[in-house]
């Protein structure tokens, strides 16, 4: 029964990912997707609670502590809601991430689930590319589609959203395809890469384009065997979380740096307001909006500091880093799929330098599936019931040149593993002789 409930839990997680892709492929103007978009945090919270209830008997002590952490985090920001001018949806963001990652940890995706997710990713990629091919010629001349001068901001939805959809689906699909280690399956890699790169370029989603190209390069050029054995690169997550805000502050205070396409001006205003009050630094402040235009921080790390302060920042990224290191160091070597997924997740963090995507409830199932699927380990070959843990050196069998007398002890036969069989088991062989 436990296996059935766990399978249902994995199915629910797959449904949340399908729902997230559906919003971006269909658009949020349709009645159903509009409702899903407006209530994404509530729907996702219901889903994760249901998954945990179905698998409550599988929860270990450390898992219950994780649930307690999520609850304590929600209580902290719920009771400071009035001084932060926050909403229930904002207060549940960090607890929702914690519980979602826990669901993936409890409901480990096997090859069947991975195959379903591969199909979902390929369908999302293909459907998005098809819709772009149909709708783009209606908006701009065909000869300008691939030019950088194409300045589209929206097709059926914001172009950055389309670019992120293509980026995530390409990264996940290619990682799962390579995990099969099948030459026929690997033939899909090239069209998947080409489709994703061309799609992000045409949509003019520069951040998604750069991250996707970077992922393709590191996932194919870096030595996987080294990354499987050496876990030092996982501390890159620690570096990003610890040094990211300092980098953004230095860029915001510089008059010459323009690494983040004008976001430095937004960040300069954010830091001026956030650093003005110790309370803002500790638990956050009212949602930040730029004074000259209705723009947020456009940065997941600064969004966390803005809404939850240093306390919320340490809770969220401390939890995520601990889960990453748990995956990395609980075995001597990582699986190749785990390396691809964690490389992808690290690049998603870098993508979040330009977007709030790490904390957006309608993106969470897709974003955290890269971390969640990394809890998977390739099952090891099980030993037989009577198999010895180690096989001794095979003994040479002595040939007999004369009939065996009654006084002589027959030589015991040797089985396939090199172990001498008992005398009772060699009667048939003696009879044959």
For residues 301 and 428, give the distance between their C-alpha atoms in angstroms, rounded to a whole number.
Answer: 75
How many beta carbons lie within 10 A of that of residue 58, not counting itself?
15
- Quick one: tokens of 62? 């450390």
Given a contact cutoff of 8 angstroms between Cβ atoms, the answer to whether 73 and 21 are in contact is no
Rounded Cα gap, residues 24 and 164, in angstroms? 9
pTM of the model: 0.84
User: What is the reported pLDDT for 59?
Assistant: 93
For 90-114, the DSSP string reads HHTHHHHHHHHHHHHHHS---HHHH
Rounded-to-integer distance, Cα 27 and Cα 29, Å: 6
> Each residue of 88-108: b (16+ CB within 10 Å) or e?
eebbbbbbbbbbbbbbbbbbe
Please give the average pLDDT of every successive group of 10 residues along the chain, which has 433 residues: 90 96 92 93 96 94 96 94 88 96 95 94 96 85 68 79 95 94 89 95 89 95 90 94 94 80 86 92 90 86 95 97 93 91 96 92 96 77 49 51 48 46 47 49
Long-range contacts of 384-387 (CB under 8 A, 24+ apart): 387/417
Per the rule left: phi > 0, alpha: psi between -120 and 50, beta: everything else, 252 is alpha
Angle at 281 between CA 277 and CA 283, to 5 degrees: 110
Give the torsion through C-alpha atoms of 332, 335, 339, 341, to 10 deg.
-130
Among 234, 247, 222, 230, residue whose Cα is nearest residue 320: 234
pLDDT the model gives residue 105: 95
**pLDDT at residue 417, rounded to an integer:** 43
Distance CA 397, CA 36 (A): 73
pLDDT of res. 204: 84
The CA R_g of the chain, rounded to the nearest whole Å, is 28
Q: Residue 73's pLDDT is what?
A: 96
């Amino acid at each position: 029964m436990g296996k059935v409930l766990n399978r249902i839990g994995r199915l629910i997680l797959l449904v949340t990912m399908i729902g997230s892709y559906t919003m971006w492929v269909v658009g949020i103007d349709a009645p159903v997707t509009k409702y899903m978009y407006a209530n994404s945090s509530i729907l996702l919270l219901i889903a994760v609670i249901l998954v945990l209830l179905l698998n409550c008997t599988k929860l270990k002590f450390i898992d219950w502590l994780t649930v307690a952490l999520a609850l304590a985090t929600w209580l902290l920001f719920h009771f400071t809601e009035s001084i932060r001018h926050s909403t229930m949806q904002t207060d549940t963001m960090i607890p929702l991430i914690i519980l979602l990652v826990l669901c993936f940890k409890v409901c480990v995706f096997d090859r069947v689930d991975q195959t379903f997710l591969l199909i979902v990713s390929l369908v999302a990629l293909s459907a998005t590319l098809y819709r772009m091919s149909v709708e783009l010629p209606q908006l701009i001349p065909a000869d300008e589609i691939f030019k950088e001068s194409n300045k589209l901001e929206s097709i059926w939805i914001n172009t950055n959203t389309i670019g992120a959809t293509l980026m995530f689906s390409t990264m996940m699909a290619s990682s799962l395809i390579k995990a099969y280690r099948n030459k026929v399956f690997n033939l899909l890699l090239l069209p998947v890469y080409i489709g994703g790169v061309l799609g992000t370029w045409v949509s003019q989603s520069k951040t998604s384009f750069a991250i996707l190209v970077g992922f393709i390069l590191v996932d194919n050029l870096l030595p996987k065997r080294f990354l499987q054995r050496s876990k030092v690169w996982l501390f890159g997550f620690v570096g990003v979380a610890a040094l990211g805000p300092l980098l953004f502050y230095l860029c915001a205070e510089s008059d010459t740096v323009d690494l983040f396409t004008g976001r430095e001006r937004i960040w300069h205003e954010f830091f001026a307001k956030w650093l003005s009050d110790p309370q803002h630094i500790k638990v956050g402040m009212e949602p930040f909006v730029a004074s000259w235009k209705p723009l947020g921080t456009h940065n997941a790390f600064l969004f966390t500091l803005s809404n939850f302060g240093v306390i919320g920042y340490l809770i969220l990224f401390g939890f995520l880093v601990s889960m990453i290191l748990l995956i990395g160091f609980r075995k001597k070597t990582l699986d190749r799929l785990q390396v691809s997924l964690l490389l992808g997740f690290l690049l998603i963090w870098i993508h979040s330098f330009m977007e709030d995507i790490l904390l957006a409830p309608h993106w969470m199932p897709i974003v955290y599936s890269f971390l969640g699927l990394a809890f998977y380990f390739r099952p090891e070959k099980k030993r037989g019931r009577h198999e010895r843990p180690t096989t001794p050196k095979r003994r040479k069998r002595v040939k007999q040149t004369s009939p065996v007398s009654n006084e002589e002890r027959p030589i015991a036969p040797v089985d396939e593993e090199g172990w001498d069989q008992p005398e009772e088991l060699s009667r048939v062989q003696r009879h044959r002789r």
